[in-house]
Structure 1
Amino acid sequence: MTPIRMIAAALAALAVCAPTGAAARAALDVALVMDASGSMRRTDPMTLRIPAARMFVDLLDGADRVAVVSFSTSARVLGGLRSLDAAGTAAVEEAVGKVTSSGAYTNLYKAVSAAADLLERGGGVEGGERRRRIIVLMSDGKMDVGDPKRDEALVSKLKDGLVEELKRRSIRVYTIAFTEESDMALLEEVARKTGGLFNVAPSDDVFHLVFGSIFESLKEPDMLPIEENTFFVDKAVDELTVVASKHSPETHITLVAPGGVEFTAATRDPSTRWSVARTFEMITIPDPADGTWKILFSTENNKAYIITRLGIETSLDRLNVMLGEGVPVNAWLEDAGGVVTVPEILDELDFDLHVSLPDGSTEKAELADDGGEGDVEKGDGVFSTVYRPALTGPYKFRLVAVSRTFEREKTFSFNVYEPEPAGAEAHGVAHSGGEHGAAAPDRDAPAGGHDGGHDGEGGGHGEEAPQSDEEPGADSDGGVWSGAVVKFLLINLLAAGAVLGWLNRRRLGGVREKWASLAARLAGLVGKKKE
C-alpha cells in the first residue's frame, strides 16, 4: 500500500474522513405532481395515492423542500415549496389532501411546465450548495385536452421542447404510470431523457411501495435487511422507521420488540410515531432497543429504514443503462463518514448483491475485496463486482452486508434499454455522478468492466455523431477569396459575350475583334484559376 493509501486508511479507522455518502448529498426540492382527472375516481376510488404521497413526505429530511401540484385541464399549485420542519410537513400533507378526482381532461404538458416553473422560482440554492430539483409525476391517462390535433401538438411540445428545457435546468422527472391506461411510452421517455426513473404502479394498493422506491432512489437511506418479517437492530441505530404493508384495511400491524413486548398503534410508547393507512402502517421509533424485532400480521413487502452512523455507501448512480453494458458495483461500509478498513470487521463481513429482474426472477452475486474483477485493490474496504443485465426492463439491486454484530441493506433501482440503432437519437441522459451515490473512496477511476462510458448531464448512449474528414478550418479566408475571383471573372466573361453579340449585330468588325480578344484573355484567366 502506498503512503497516501496508508494515511487514508488510518484516517478512515479514526472516522475523521470527510463525508462521501448521504451526509454529503445536496438537499432536495421536490414538486409532487398528482393527477386530478375524473378517471382517478375509477382507478383510485379510495384515493390511496394521498396517504402514499404523505408517507413519501414523512420519509424525507427536514432540509428537503416539497411543493404540491394537481392537474387535469390545467395545473394548480396546491402548496408552494416548504421546508419539512414540523409546520412545513403539516402544510405539505394538508396540500396533498386537497388533490381531487374531478377534472375533465389530462394535460401532462401543463403539469410538467407548472412544476418546472415552480422549482425555478424556488431558487434551489441553500448555503451556496445547489439543491437537487426533482419532479415526481403521477398519471393514469394519456394527453387529453379534448382535441386530438392539439393533444398531438402538446405531446411533441413536451418531448421536443420542454424536456430539453428541463435538462438545461437540471430538473429530473420521476414518473409513475398508474394502470395500463396511462401513456407509458411518454412517461418513460420523459423520465429517461431527464435522467429520472420511470415507475409503474399497476394498482392503487401498491402506491406506497412505488413512492417508497422513489424515496430510496432519491435519498439512498440506510436500511436493515428483513427476512421472514424479522430484522436485527444493533447499538449503532439511532432511529428506526418501519413501513409495513397490510393484508387488508382491517389488519392491525403489531411490532414485537426484543424480549417479546408487543406494540400496536393503540398500545405504542408515547415517543413512537405511528400512522395508519388502508394499505400500510408507518412506525418511527427513536433509540430502538437492540436485538431481534418481528413484524406480525403483515405481507412480505416491508421496509426498515434507519438513522445510523454505520451504513453502506455505494458508487451506483446510473438510473438508465443500455443492454450489454456492464454495471460496476462498488460498495463499502462507512462509520461516521470514514471508510471501514479494520481487518477484524472486514474478515467477518459478507457482502452480497441480490438482483430482482424484470421477469420476476432473482439472482445473487457475492461482492469481494480481493483485487479480482471490478475490484481495484485488495483489502481497501471497497467490495466490488460487475453485473451484466441480460434483459431489458426494471431492475432492483439489494446490497446486503451481514456481520456477527450488525446487518445493513441499501437498495438501488434502474432501467435497462435496448441500444438505439446506428444513427438514431441518443437515449438521453444517464444519471450523472456526484449527485446520486458516492464516488468510490481513494480511487482515481471507476472499477473496470464497464463496457460503456458514463455520460454526464445531457449525455447519452447513442451512436457518436460521424466526424467530417475535412480538417477544421479548411474553409479559410483564402478559399472564400478564390471563389470570389472566379465568380468575378465569369461575370465579366458573360458581359463580354453579350457586348460582342451586340457589336456583331451592328457589324462593327474592328471593335468586335478587340472585344473577342479581350474575351479570350478573360477565358484564359478563368481556365488557369480552375487549374
Structure 2
Amino acid sequence: MSVQFGSKALFPRIFLFLAVLLGTPAALHAQPPIGPQPDLRLLIDISGSMKESDPDNLRGPALELIVRLLPDGARAGVWIFGEDVQQIVPHQVVDARWRERALEAVARIDNSGQRTNIPAALAAATYDIGSMDPTYRTSVVLLTDGKVDLSASPMANATAARDLLATTAPKLGATGIPVHTIALSEEADWTFLRALANSTTGIAEKARTAAQLTEIFVQSLEMVAPTARVPIVGNIFLIDETVDEFTALVFLQEPGAEVTLTSPDGVEYRPEQNADGVDWFQSSQFALVTVTAPERGAWTLVAPEGARSRVSVISDLKLEVDPLPNSLPAGRVTELGIRLRDGDGVIARPELLQLFTLSVQITGPEDYSELIDVTGRYPVPATGEYRVSIPAFDRGGRYQLLVQLRGETLQRELPLYIEVIAEEAAPAISTRPPMVPEQDLQRPALTLAVLALLAVAVALWVYRRRRKRKMAIWQRRFDASRGAADETVVAGLSATADEDEGKGKSP
C-alpha cells in the first residue's frame, strides 16, 4: 500500500469529467439510499462491583467518545442498570442537541447499583420490539462485569438467565437485533455473555483491562455503523477533493501523551490551540481531532510510538457496503454488496467505475489472509453494485474484511467484522479399542504396582495390630477368670479338712 502524491493536475480533470457525466440522467443509477441507518442502544452496568472492575470509571470517557463519533441521522439511546434500569440519554435521532444531552449524562455513570439485572436492561432497551422503524438497523451493546443477579436466590438467578437465553435471545435474533456483549472482568459470566451474543448473531468481546474498553466500544460502533477511512502510511494520510470533513482518532498508551496534526501547507495544530475548523478533544485514553473543510493533500499525524490511529472521512463520494451478519456458522458462504454513491445515487456508468479499483482484504485467526481483487475478478456491473462472494471459513474466530477503494489520488477503507462460530466436533465412535504404544503403558503399570504393594503392606500392618490387640484382650480376660476360680476353692472346698474330719470319728 502506498500513498500517491503525484498527478495533481489529473484529479480536477477526473472530477470535471464526473460533473459532465452527472449532468445527464443516464450517468447514475439513481435510487434511494440502500440499507438502513444505524440504531445503537447502549446498556452500561453500574453495579457496585464496578469499583474494582473499572476503578478509574473509564466507562465515562468511552461513552463520550461514542457520542462524538456517532453519525448525524443515526438513532441512539443509553441505559444504565444495577437492580433497576434508568435511561440517561433519550433514544432519539442523533443531532447537536442529542449530543449535548448525552455528554451531560456521562457524569451519571457510577457504581451505585446493588445487583446486575441484565434481563430488565434488555427489556428496557428493546421496548419497541413490536413496532421498530424498518429504516433503521438496531443493535444493542451490553457492558457488564458480572452475571445475571436479580435476586438473593442462586436458583432464581439461574432460572432468569436460562429463560433469557431460551426465550428473549431467540426472539431478538429472529427480529434482527444483535446483542454485542462486552465482559469487563474475569468474574463476568463469559459463557452466558457469549451464548447471548451468538444466539442473536452478535459478537462477544472480553476487555482484559478497563483501558481496553475504549477501543472495544469503537469497534462495536464500527459494527453498527461502518465508516469509511483513509489509510495512514507511516504517519501520513491523504485528503482528496471530495472530503468535507475528517476525524483523526489516536488511542494513547500513556495519559498526557502529545499528539499533533500538520496540514499540507505546514500549519501545525495542537490540542491546546484554538483554530477555526479544528476541534480537539483529549482524555487519558485517546485524542480526537475533527477538521472541517480540510485542505487537500498530505496531512501528517504525529503520535507517540505504539499508539494506534485511524482517520474517518465524510465525503461526497461514499463507499457503501451491505451489512453482513455479525456472526455466522463455519462453512457458510456469504456475499458482499459494494457500491460507490454520491448525493444522487449509485454510480453505474462504466467510464466512472473504471477510474477506481476495489479489493477486499480478509484477515483472521492463525494468520489467515486472503485478498479478493474485485475489479480484476468481476466485470463492471450494469447496476453499479458489485456482488462479491466471500469464501466459507472453516476455523472459528474473529475475521476482518477490509474493503479497499483506490483512485488516482483517492483512497478509502471500510472495515467489517465477522465472528465465525465453529461447532464442536462430535466424539467419534469406534468398535475397536485404541492402540496404545507399549512405552505409554510402562509408567502407569509401574505406578499401579507400587500402589498395590503399599496397600498390601498397610493391610498387613493393620491386621497384625488388630490381632495383637485381640490377644491382649483375651489374655486379660483369661487372667481375670483364673483369679476368680482360685478364690472360690480356698473359701469352700478343702480335701485336707475332709480327711481330718473323718479321722476323728469312730467306725
Shared fold (TM-score, shorter chain, > 0.5): yes
**1:13/1:338 contact within 8 Å kept:** no
Unaligned runs of 5+ in 2: 1-21, 427-507
Match of 1:399 among 383, 386, 403: 403
The more displaced of 210-219 and 341-350 is: 341-350
Q: Within 5 A, what are the aligned runs for 1:118-133? A: 119=128, 124-125=132-133, 130-133=135-138
Aligned counterpart, 2:102: 92
Bigger radius of gyration, 1 or 2?
2
Instruction: Tell me, in whole angstroms, the C-alpha distance in 2 between the residues paired with 1:13 and 1:177.
Output: 51
* Matched AA of 1:416: V
Match of 1:83 among 93, 101, 107: 93
* Matched AA of 2:261: L
Aligned counterpart, 2:203: 197
**1:346/1:381 contact within 8 Å kept:** no
Instruction: Tell me, in whole angstroms, the C-alpha distance in 2 between the residues paired with 1:241 and 1:353.
Output: 23
Match of 2:412 among 377, 383, 408: 408
Gap change, CA 1:176 and 1:365, over 3 Å in 2:
same
Aligned counterpart, 1:278: 284
Q: Within 5 A, what are the aligned runs for 1:418-497? A: 418-419=422-423
Aligned counterpart, 2:503: none
Aligned counterpart, 2:71: 61
1:137 Cα deviation (Å)?
Answer: 0.8
Aligned-pair Cα RMSD in Å: 3.0
**1:38/1:101 contact within 8 Å kept:** yes
Gap change, CA 1:276 and 1:362, over 3 Å in 2:
farther
1:139 Cα deviation (Å)?
Answer: 0.9
2:126 aligns to what SS in structure 1?
A: helix
Matched, 1:107 2:117: yes
**2:348/2:381 contact within 8 Å kept:** no
2:187 aligns to what SS in structure 1?
A: coil
Aligned counterpart, 2:357: 350
Gap change, CA 1:268 and 1:343, over 3 Å in 2:
farther
* Matched AA of 1:32: L
Unaligned runs of 5+ in 1: 1-8, 423-531
* Matched AA of 1:277: S
Instruction: Tell me, in whole angstroms, the C-alpha distance in 2 between the residues paired with 1:170 and 1:323.
Output: 20
Match of 2:144 among 139, 149, 165: 139
1:344 Cα deviation (Å)?
Answer: 5.5
The TM-score, its normalising length taken from structure 1, stands at: 0.69
Aligned counterpart, 1:369: 375
Instruction: Tell me, in whole angstroms, the C-alpha distance in 2 between the residues paired with 1:168 and 1:390.
Output: 25
Match of 1:17 among 7, 22, 30: 30
1:369 aligns to what SS in structure 2?
A: helix
* Matched AA of 1:18: Q
Aligned counterpart, 2:392: 388
Instruction: Tell me, in whole angstroms, the C-alpha distance in 1 between the residues paired with 2:337 and 2:91.
Output: 35
Query: Percent identity over the alignment?
Result: 25
1:292 Cα deviation (Å)?
Answer: 1.0
Instruction: Tell me, in whole angstroms, the C-alpha distance in 2 between the residues paired with 1:233 and 1:385.
Output: 31
* Matched AA of 1:403: G
Task: Show CA shifts across 1:334-372 (max 9, x none).
Answer: 33354445556544533232223134x352403233556
Task: Show CA shifts across 1:297-354 (max 9, x none).
Answer: 2445222111112122223522112112233344333333544455565445332322
Q: Within 5 A, what are the aligned runs for 1:230-269? A: 230-269=236-275
Gap change, CA 1:362 and 1:274, over 3 Å in 2:
farther
Aligned counterpart, 2:460: none
Task: Show CA shifts across 1:437-475 (max 9, x none).
Answer: xxxxxxxxxxxxxxxxxxxxxxxxxxxxxxxxxxxxxxx
**1:371/1:378 contact within 8 Å kept:** no
1:151 aligns to what SS in structure 2?
A: helix
1:142 Cα deviation (Å)?
Answer: 1.9
The TM-score, its normalising length taken from structure 2, stands at: 0.72
2:47 aligns to what SS in structure 1?
A: coil
Gap change, CA 1:332 and 1:169, over 3 Å in 2:
closer
Matched, 1:417 2:421: yes
Gap change, CA 1:328 and 1:367, over 3 Å in 2:
farther
Gap change, CA 1:15 and 1:90, over 3 Å in 2:
same
**1:332/1:383 contact within 8 Å kept:** no
Aligned counterpart, 2:37: 26
**1:401/1:409 contact within 8 Å kept:** yes
Task: Show CA shifts across 1:450-509 (max 9, x none).
Answer: xxxxxxxxxxxxxxxxxxxxxxxxxxxxxxxxxxxxxxxxxxxxxxxxxxxxxxxxxxxx
Gap change, CA 1:386 and 1:115, over 3 Å in 2:
closer
Aligned counterpart, 2:300: 294
Match of 1:305 among 305, 308, 312: 312
Gap change, CA 1:380 and 1:166, over 3 Å in 2:
closer
* Matched AA of 2:80: S
Gap change, CA 1:398 and 1:11, over 3 Å in 2:
farther
Instruction: Tell me, in whole angstroms, the C-alpha distance in 2 between the residues paired with 1:266 and 1:288.
Output: 19
Aligned counterpart, 1:208: 214
Instruction: Tell me, in whole angstroms, the C-alpha distance in 1 between the residues paired with 2:25 and 2:420.
Output: 35
Gap change, CA 1:394 and 1:32, over 3 Å in 2:
same
2:31 aligns to what SS in structure 1?
A: coil
Matched, 1:324 2:335: no
Instruction: Tell me, in whole angstroms, the C-alpha distance in 2 between the residues paired with 1:394 and 1:205.
Output: 21
2:221 aligns to what SS in structure 1?
A: helix
1:112 Cα deviation (Å)?
Answer: 1.5
Aligned counterpart, 1:50: 60
Instruction: Tell me, in whole angstroms, the C-alpha distance in 2 between the residues paired with 1:165 and 1:216.
Output: 24
**1:82/1:92 contact within 8 Å kept:** no
1:97 aligns to what SS in structure 2?
A: helix
**2:250/2:303 contact within 8 Å kept:** no
**2:29/2:384 contact within 8 Å kept:** no
